[in-house]
Amino acid sequence: MATSAPALRTSVSTPAWARWANDHRKWLFAGPAMAFVAVLIVFPVAWTVYLSLTDAEGSVRAEKELTGAANYLDVLADTSRFWPAVLRTVEFTGIALFFEVVLGMCIALLLWRPFRGEKWVRVAILLPLVATPVAVGMMWRLILDPNIGFANQVLGWVGIPPQPWLAGEGSALVTTAFIDVWQWTPMVVLILLAGLTALPEEPHEAALVDGTTGWQRFRFITLPMLMPTVVVAILLRGIDAIKTFDILYATKGKGGGSFHEVETLNVYAYGLSFDYNEYGVASAVLILFFLIIIGSMWALTARRREELS
């Protein structure tokens, strides 16, 4: 009785439009965001697919013709720019991800148990993470400058000859990958730390009673339990690392440097679009790039999906 009376009163006193709004609240709430996504994301992606099948180039208002798969065939046969860019993307992402996950795991384990001064270490971890990537690129450009940089000065103190860093044809890509490691390892630390804190204590304590070593407890208890979080960290970081642009553009400029030393797929697609106005070819590169990203995500989560099904 007490529960039905107020409900009755509302249904009488609410105006028709309000009742309509409540009945359709699912799409009333989700609709505007979905419309935004449709207009500004789904439609552009569809257009990119269309552009990749045309000879669009030059001015954005120029006439264009459908050329079918021609752009894709050209791109896939291009061993001077496209395939080296694929290799560089794989190398950059691989190096960055590997060190970010390994170092991230080590640092997360160091921070796991509470200690004095924890607050200050957490601040230090947060700062690189929120720093503007372009500014980070410029900062490292000064530190790693072969002539005036602090990095070579430090190497000099311990008797190591100066390195070319970003200026070297072979070393530039690895150097930029390590700038990425500096900025984004903290992100992996935070994710793994959240995972570690959520782990149950009992298995760990039981293993302690059984007289296991620290390494054994990590290898056979902590790591297997933490694995889902590690996969999430790899996924989140991998998606961003493979698309890195700001650091590469800030340190090496257009086209990934004069010899395209750091020209990854993203940098290549950007250059094709806005330095050469080759919109058709650029779109084909972007679609292939997108397929590579989706493919690697799919491969990475394959085992997990198997476990779930």
Partner 1 sequence: MSRRRSSFTTFRVAALVVVVVVLLAPLVWMLLASFKSNVDIYDSSKAVFFSPTLDNYTKVLAQANYGRFILNSFWVAFASTTLSLLLGVPAAYAMSRFTMNRSALVVLMARVIPGVSLLVPWYYVFSNLRMVGGYTVLILSHMFVALPLVVYIMMGYFDGLPLELEESAMVDGLTPIGAFRLITLPLSVPGIATAGILAFIFSWNNFMFALVLSDAHTKTLPVAIFNFVGYASIDWGGLMAAATVVTLPIMVIALFTQKYIVSGLTAGATKG
* Binding residues among 65-104 for partner 1 as defined by CB under 8 A: none
Q: Figure out which of the listed residues 143, 174, 207, 221 binds partner 1, where binding follows CB under 8 A.
A: 143
Residue 130 vs 209, nearer CB to partner 1? 130
Residue 76 and residue 221: Cα distance in Å, rounded? 46
Rounding to the nearest 10 degrees, give the CA dihedral for residues 163, 165, 168, 171.
110
Task: Output the smallest distance, CB 172 to partner 1, in A.
Answer: 17
Q: Figure out which of the listed residues 76, 142, 206, 291 binds partner 1, where binding follows CB under 8 A.
A: 142
Residue 287 and residue 224: Cα distance in Å, rounded? 36
Q: Tell me the DSSP string of 7-30.
A: HHHHHHHS-HHHHHHHHTHHHHHH
Q: Is 190 in the site for partner 1 (CB under 8 A)?
A: yes
Q: Is 132 in the site for partner 1 (CB under 8 A)?
A: yes
* Binding residues among 230-289 for partner 1 as defined by CB under 8 A: 232-233, 236, 239, 243, 245-246, 249-250, 253, 266, 269-270, 273-274, 279, 282-283, 286-287, 289
46: Cβ–Cβ under 8 A, 6 or more apart, which residues? none
Residue 303 and residue 296: Cα distance in Å, rounded? 13
Name the segment binding partner 1 (CB under 8 A); options: 16-24, 65-73, 163-171, 255-263: 16-24
* Binding residues among 24-43 for partner 1 as defined by CB under 8 A: 25-30, 32-34, 36-37, 40-43
Residue 134 vs 207, nearer CB to partner 1? 134
